[in-house]
Amino acid sequence: MRFRFSPPLLRRPGFTAGDAVIVLALAGLLAAGLRLGWRAPAVLHGPEISLSPSALPLYALLSTARMTAAYVLSLAFTLVYGYAAARSRTARRVLIPLLDILQSVPILSFLPVVLLGLSAILPQKPAAELAAVLLIFTSQAWNMAYSFYQSITTLPNELREAAAVFRLDRWLRFKTLELPFATLGLIWNSMMSWAGGWFFLMAAEIFRVGERDFRLRGLGAYLQEAANQGDMRAVVYGVAALVATIVVLDQILWRPLLSWADKFRLDGVAGEEPPRCWFGDLVSRSWLVERAGAHLAAPLGERVDRFLHERLGGAPAAPPGDRSEARPSRAVFLAGAATALLVLYGGYRAFGLLATLPFSSWKPLLIGLAATLLRVAAALAIALAWTVPAGVAIGMNRRLASLAQPIVQVVASIPATALFPVIVLALLSAPGGLNLAAIVLMLMGTQWYLLFNVIAGASAIPQDLRFTTDLLRLPFLDRWRVLILPAIFPYVVTGAITAAGGAWNASIVAERTEFAGRSRTTVGVGALIAGATAQGDYALLLAATLVLIVTVVLINRTFWRAMYRLAEERYRME
């Protein structure tokens, strides 16, 4: 169980045929969306954004409603997608490469395509609302799906064997074993998903494509409008309203959930005093809640449980990794053939659009890609340097966690894009200038993925293993090498993958920023994507997005997939 890094696992680089098909399909979707977007109205105007403090309660309510809708979609996606990828080897070959690509695709390069496509078939306001929810969904879903997939694939073997002995069917295994084991990490990643959603809220609620204005009323639009006008007083009001919203959600939602999830810890001995929550204690003593639970929630839960047991139950479930696969049906072959035809047509349309791009545009594109890659690597290295020790300290000390968790939640949820104009003005005169400011913004947008996952991993370390290391009086370094690093390694890998994807996404707003009517850019593929979006250069937008996708796929398939395999094979909690 001692922590050792194994470079030989990197011997199988791979950009497979499946990856090529997925990239080609995404290119086709982009091209089709752009073609549909050409039919959208040439000029669109959004509502006026009031900077009066009296508008903030309504804006906070609207933004929270969009975040809630996106989170419900993300949770449903996580449970279905992560379970399918972990339980089926055939599905894993498609779903995991697709997830690798989707979590690293620059969200803001797809947003204009989605907005233009929806506005061509829907009225402006429903199109903008739906696009905002989809954008926030894409900032929430991937790290939750990775966390759930990682939890199921690293399930201890003794628990798998116990489920096989009791002949649990698929539904009972999921309800009594897999979901409880994944709950703690899923809750921490849900908190991170909300923080990531606030980060992209500003982009989702106020977005322009040429002469088309897709703004929506909300906290993100309020902060962006205040930053564009240089009204620092309104920025302070907006940040204060956002912090108040986050604190309320922390007290009435996340703290009760963390307190409830403590019973799912994998402990063989009694541990410390379980965490308490004033709101959870207050609600649990409520007569109305008790009656509603007995007469509404319990009967409804039994009906849902019975329905799912009838649909998903039956024969005992095969353990994950079982090589036996069901024979594909005729419907699967027909669906595959239809998908292949759509991919070929989409690829044809995408190549037709790329053919209009001048050859001279490819050189700055490759230079920008290299510059952004260096910034992503620098941001990830800085994040690892401080989040691992800080996350372990918070996760292994409940008293510290009770104090630090709400602070971390608030700081992580403040959109860095709201503070970026101030950071740019402060760092323009420093060595590195906008390059340094871009790294800072990437770091502010990605470090929390690592921190929340490390906290989840450290808090999930069984108490009996902690007691054993105390009894053995292991030195500090041996304790890290023998217990802490092996235990948190799968969580670090999950956090690092999503953090790297977040850094690629943040590059679009980090490398090109506007403040008080002035635009500042630096060399990078994110700046090219942002510039192509602002100018309506769809060929350059497609080319930059595809180059970025291919690069990220190569990195994921050569390095991060090997790290996942290492975590699954060597650092499983047995």
Give per-residue pLDDT as tens, 131-177. 788 888 887 888 888 889 888 888 888 888 888 888 888 888 888 88
- Average pLDDT, stretch 341-361? 77
pLDDT exceeds cutoff 70 at 247: yes
For residue 9, pLDDT beyond 60: no
3-state secondary structure 311-345: HHCCCECCCCCCCCCCCCCHHHHHHHHHHHHHHHH
Which residues are within 8 A (CB) of 386 and not within 5 positions of it... i.e. 6 or more apart? 447
pLDDT, residue 404, reads 81
Number of domains into which the chain is organized: 1
Query: String of b and e for 374-396 (b: at least 16 CB within 10 Å)?
Result: ebbebbbebbbeebbebbbebbb
In this predicted structure, the answer to whether residue 8 has a pLDDT above a threshold of 50 is no
- DSSP conformational letter for 210: T
Single-letter code of the amino acid located at 275:
P
Structure tokens of 92? 């894993």
Backbone Cα Rg of the chain: 24
Instruction: Report CA-CA distances (Å) from 81 to 144, 305, 394.
Output: 10, 20, 30
Please state, as a whole number, how many other Cβ atoms lie within 10 Å of the Cβ of residue 121: 10
* 353 within some domain: no
Q: 77 is written with which tokens? A: 């996606």
> Which residues touch 79 (CB under 8 Å, ≥6 apart)?
148, 179
Q: State percent of the chain over pLDDT 70.
A: 72
Please report, rounded to a whole number, the percentage of residues in the chain having pLDDT higher than 90: 9
Structural domain including 417 reads 13-267+360-570
- The verdict on residue 414 lying in a domain is yes
308 is a domain residue: no
Spatial separation of the C-alpha atoms in residues 187 and 158, rounded to whole Å: 24
Quote the pLDDT of residue 388: 93
Reported as a pLDDT band with limits 50, 70 and 90, residue 1 is: very low
Contact 44, 213 (CB under 8 A): yes
DSSP 555: H
Confidence of residue 49 (pLDDT cuts 50, 70, 90): confident
pLDDT, greater one: 75 or 42 = 75
Q: How far apart are CA 92 and CA 96, in angstroms?
A: 6
Q: Which residue has the higher pLDDT, 524 or 269?
A: 524
Task: Determine contact, residues 118/40, Cβ cutoff 8 Å.
Answer: no
Q: Give me the long-range contacts of 278-282 (CB less than 8 A, separation at least 24).
A: 278/251, 279/251, 279/252, 279/255, 280/255, 280/256
Q: pLDDT by residue (tens digit) across 23-43?
A: 666 666 666 655 555 555 544
Task: State the average pLDDT over residues 228-251.
Answer: 84
pLDDT tens for each residue of 460-509: 888 888 888 888 888 888 899 888 998 899 889 888 888 888 788 778 77
Which is higher by pLDDT, 390 or 405? 390
Tell me the pLDDT band of 77, cut-offs 50, 70 and 90.
very high
Query: How far, in Å, CA of 211 to CA of 153, rounded?
Result: 48
Residues 6+ apart with CB under 8 A from 337: none
Task: Please compute the mean of the pLDDT values over residues 511-519 and round it to a whole number.
Answer: 67
Indicate if the alpha-carbon torsion angle 72, 75, 78, 84 is positive or negative: negative
Task: Provide the phi-psi class of 318: left if phi over 0, else alpha when psi is between -120 and 50, else beta.
Answer: beta
Q: What angle do CA 486, 488, 491 make, to 5 degrees?
A: 130
Token digits for 271? 């541990």
In sequence order, what are the beta bridge partners of 76?
A: none
The residue assigned the tokens 């950009």 is 15
Summarize the chain as % helix, strand, coil (round to 5): 80, 5, 20
Q: How confident is the model at residue 374 (pLDDT cuts 50, 70, 90)?
A: very high
Terminal alpha carbon distance of the chain = 9
- Any domain includes 405: yes
Which residues have C-beta within 8 Å of that of residue 254, sequence separation ≥ 6? Answer: 187, 190, 191, 405, 409
10 Å CB burial of residue 506 (0-12, 13-18, 19+) is buried
- β-bridge pairing 212-213 and 512-515: unpaired
pLDDT at 111 exceeding the cut of 50: yes
Say which DSSP state 209 is in: E
Element of type H or E holding 190? helix 179-205
Q: Which residue has the higher pLDDT, 364 or 235?
A: 364
Residue 260 in this model has a pLDDT that exceeds 80: yes
Positive/negative CA dihedral, 172, 174, 180, 183: negative
Query: Do residues 29 and 109 make contact, with C-beta atoms less than 8 angstroms apart?
Result: no
- A 10 A CB-CB count for 92 gives 18
Q: How confident is the model at residue 317 (pLDDT cuts 50, 70, 90)?
A: low
Judge whether 407 lies within some domain: yes
Task: Indicate whether 324 belongs to any domain.
Answer: no
d(CA 416, CA 114): 24
Q: What is the mean pLDDT of the chain?
A: 77
Is 451's pLDDT higher than 70? yes
Q: Higher pLDDT residue, 493 or 92?
A: 493
The residue type of 520 is R
Question: What DSSP string describes 472-521?
Answer: TT--HHHHIIIIIHHHHHHHHHHHHHHHHHHHHHHHHHHSEEEETTEEEE
Tell me, yes or no, whether 433 lies in a domain.
Answer: yes
pLDDT at res. 321? 47
Matching residue, tokens 């659009």: 353
CATH number of the domain that residue 189 is part of: 1.10.3720.10
Contact 108, 138 (CB under 8 A): no
Higher local confidence (pLDDT), 317 or 160: 160
Q: Is residue 204 part of a domain?
A: yes
Whether residue 507 contacts residue 324, with contact meaning beta carbons closer than 8 Å, is answered with: no
